[in-house]
Every structure is written in structure tokens, then in C-alpha cells.
Amino acid sequence: MKSITIHNLDTVTAQKIQQLASEMGLSQNKLIKRLLRQSLGLSDAPSPMNDFEKFCGYWSEEEAESFTANTSTFDAIDTELWD
């Protein structure tokens, strides 16, 4: 494996990398490798965005499907209300 050193990284970029790594529970090294792979189109899938997870939590696929099924009647238009 090859190692790369980045010289003269500006403060704002360095802080953003540190913040993102902390929010995602990754080391800065792992975050940078992930970002590089994604930007080069080498990643199978983008990392999931979890900006609001700490505020709202998240649903499993099963929970999301259940919610969709249980709220499907909300899409129906009651034509009697519009006459």
C-alpha cells in the first residue's frame, strides 16, 4: 500500500475533515480514503448520509416499509370532499 502526505492543507479543510470524521465515527485517515475512492468512482456505494441521525434516529428497511404500507391511504383523494 502506498502512503501519501498532503502538505499545506488549509485550516478550514482540515477542520471539516476532523468534524466529518468525528460525526461518522471514523478516523481521519479512513474518512479521507473513503472520500478519495468515492470521488474517483471506485466505491461501490456512497457512504450513507447521517447528518440528522443524532437528532432523529433512523429506520431499518423493515420499519420504512411498514410506515409506507401503513400510510398508503394518505395518498387517496376523497372526491366527495371536492364536489
* Residue-range domain boundaries for the chain: 11-74
C-alpha pair distances (Å), 31 with each of 5, 22, 28, 34, 78: 15, 10, 5, 5, 50
**Who's near 23: CB < 8 A, 6+ residues apart?**
50, 51
**pLDDT tens sequence across 21-63:** 999 899 999 999 999 998 888 865 655 666 676 777 778 889 9
Q: What pLDDT is recorded for position 11? A: 95
Global confidence as pTM: 0.51
Q: What pLDDT is recorded for position 45? A: 61
